[in-house]
């Protein structure tokens, strides 16, 4: 029998059936969090993302302890760039040496298997957790995430990751449209632009939770313990 957990949340309590839940850790990659990657190439201040790592690590530990399925996504393209749209390749109007696929300080930028494309140590995957390469912003686009979740009877998603208004929000909206009940963990997500993060937290919970719920990592961990 499933165990239901009530999480105090915005805009109201979130009911989480533990056996039907997954934690989706989005793009906690060196390419976004460390110098020499894609985020840095775009001129971003990387320090804003670092703050979400301790809460994300706490959330991950709490979900593992509760037996919740864990998915780690990585924004990543194939080495031959066959899954990279021209529209994405050219975006930013960057010089050749800063584009997706160029060789940066941590290997080829945003390419599968390159050092910079890997997940940071603080929230590194462990055996048995799903690793998902995604070529887009949303984790449901051109991936097997939806059938994978359905095949396990998963209906509820706890969501963390970077960046809040890009890959995290896109994934949460994709999930919402596919019928998943989503809670975005507010301090386990980060943006290069704090104002954008604040806006996302407000916009997903406005209108009675039009996209879903939010709660911080301590609150989720306490509910799971």
| 32 part of the interface to ligand C5J, by CB under 6 A | yes
Instruction: Check: CB of residue 72 under 8 Å from CB of residue 29.
Output: no
| 167 part of the interface to ligand C5J, by CB under 6 A | yes
Minimum CB separation from ligand C5J for residue 25, in Å? Answer: 11
Closer to ligand C5J by Cβ: residue 75 or 181: 75
**Residues 59/132/209/63 CA torsion (nearest 10 deg):** -20
Binding segment toward ligand C5J, per CB under 6 A, in 92-100, 145-153, 160-168, 198-206: 160-168
Minimum CB separation from ligand C5J for residue 15, in Å? Answer: 28
Minimum CB separation from ligand C5J for residue 18, in Å? Answer: 27
Binding segment toward ligand C5J, per CB under 6 A, in 63-71, 86-94, 95-103, 163-171: 163-171
Structure tokens at 95: 């010089």
| 114 part of the interface to ligand C5J, by CB under 6 A | no
Rounded (10°) angle between helices 53-65 and 217-224: 10
Per CB under 6 A, which of residues 64..103 are in contact with ligand C5J? 75
Active-site residue list = 27, 134, 167
Contacts (Cβ under 8 Å, ≥6 apart) of 212: 172, 176, 181, 182, 183, 184, 204, 205
Number of H helices and E strands in the chain, helices first, is 9, 10
| 162 part of the interface to ligand C5J, by CB under 6 A | yes
What is the number of other CB atoms lying within 10 angstroms of the CB of residue 202? 11
| 117 part of the interface to ligand C5J, by CB under 6 A | no
């Amino acid at each position: 029998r499933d165990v239901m957990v009530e999480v105090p949340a915005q805009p109201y309590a979130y009911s989480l059936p533990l056996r039907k839940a997954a934690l989706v850790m989005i793009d906690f990659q060196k390419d976004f969090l460390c110098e020499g990657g894609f985020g840095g190439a775009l001129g971003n201040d990387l320090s804003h993302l670092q703050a979400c790592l301790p809460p994300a690590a706490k959330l991950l530990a709490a979900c593992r302890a509760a037996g919740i399925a864990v998915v780690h996504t990585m924004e990543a393209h194939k080495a031959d760039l066959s899954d990279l749209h021209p529209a994405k390749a050219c975006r930013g109007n960057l010089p050749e040496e800063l584009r997706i696929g160029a060789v940066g300080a941590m290997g080829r930028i945003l390419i599968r298997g390159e050092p910079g494309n890997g997940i940071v140590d603080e929230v590194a995957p462990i055996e048995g957790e799903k690793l998902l390469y995604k070529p887009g912003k949303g984790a449901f686009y051109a991936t097997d995430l939806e059938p994978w979740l359905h095949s396990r009877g998963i209906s509820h998603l706890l969501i963390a990751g970077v960046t809040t208004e890009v890959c995290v929000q896109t994934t949460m909206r994709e999930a919402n449209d596919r019928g998943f009940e989503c809670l975005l963990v507010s301090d386990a997500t980060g943006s290069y632009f704090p104002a954008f993060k604040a806006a996302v937290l407000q916009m997903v919970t406005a209108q009675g939770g039009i996209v879903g719920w939010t709660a911080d990592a301590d609150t989720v961990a306490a509910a799971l313990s």
